[in-house]
Structure 1
């Protein structure tokens, strides 16, 4: 379970950072800008993904190995 939380946190962190990079540089990277229902809220969704990633990392640390 710990590895699943860490993997999910890593994916959320990467996608959140890529979404912020897209908003700042207009590079076409990441997944957040491709979701139509988030139109206009990409920065908030990306920041939420970054915060969620740190919460997932904290949850993974509180779990025992195995």
Structure 2
């Protein structure tokens, strides 16, 4: 379970950072800008993904390893 949380945290962190890079550097990377549902809210969604990633890392750290 710890590895799953770490993997999900890593994916969320990468997508959040790529979304921020897309917004501020105008590189066409990441999935956040490709979702039509998030039009106009890409920065907020990217920040939420980064915060979610740290929460997932904290949850993974609190789990006992086997």
TM-score if structure 1 supplies the norm length?
0.99
Matches within 5 A, 1:2-41: 2-41=2-41
- Report how many aligned residue pairs link the two structures: 66
- Please give the root-mean-square deviation of Cα atoms over the aligned residues, in Å: 0.4
Alpha-carbon distance between aligned partners in 2 of 1:3 and 1:22, rounded to the nearest angstrom: 28
Alpha-carbon distance between aligned partners in 2 of 1:30 and 1:13, rounded to the nearest angstrom: 11
Alpha-carbon distance between aligned partners in 2 of 1:47 and 1:54, rounded to the nearest angstrom: 11
Unaligned runs of 5+ in 2: none
Q: CA deviation at 1:12?
A: 0.2
Q: Deviations over 1:1-43 (max 9, x none)?
A: 0000000000000000000000001100000000000000000
Q: Displaced runs of 4+ in structure 1, greater than 4 A?
A: none
TM-score if structure 2 supplies the norm length?
0.99
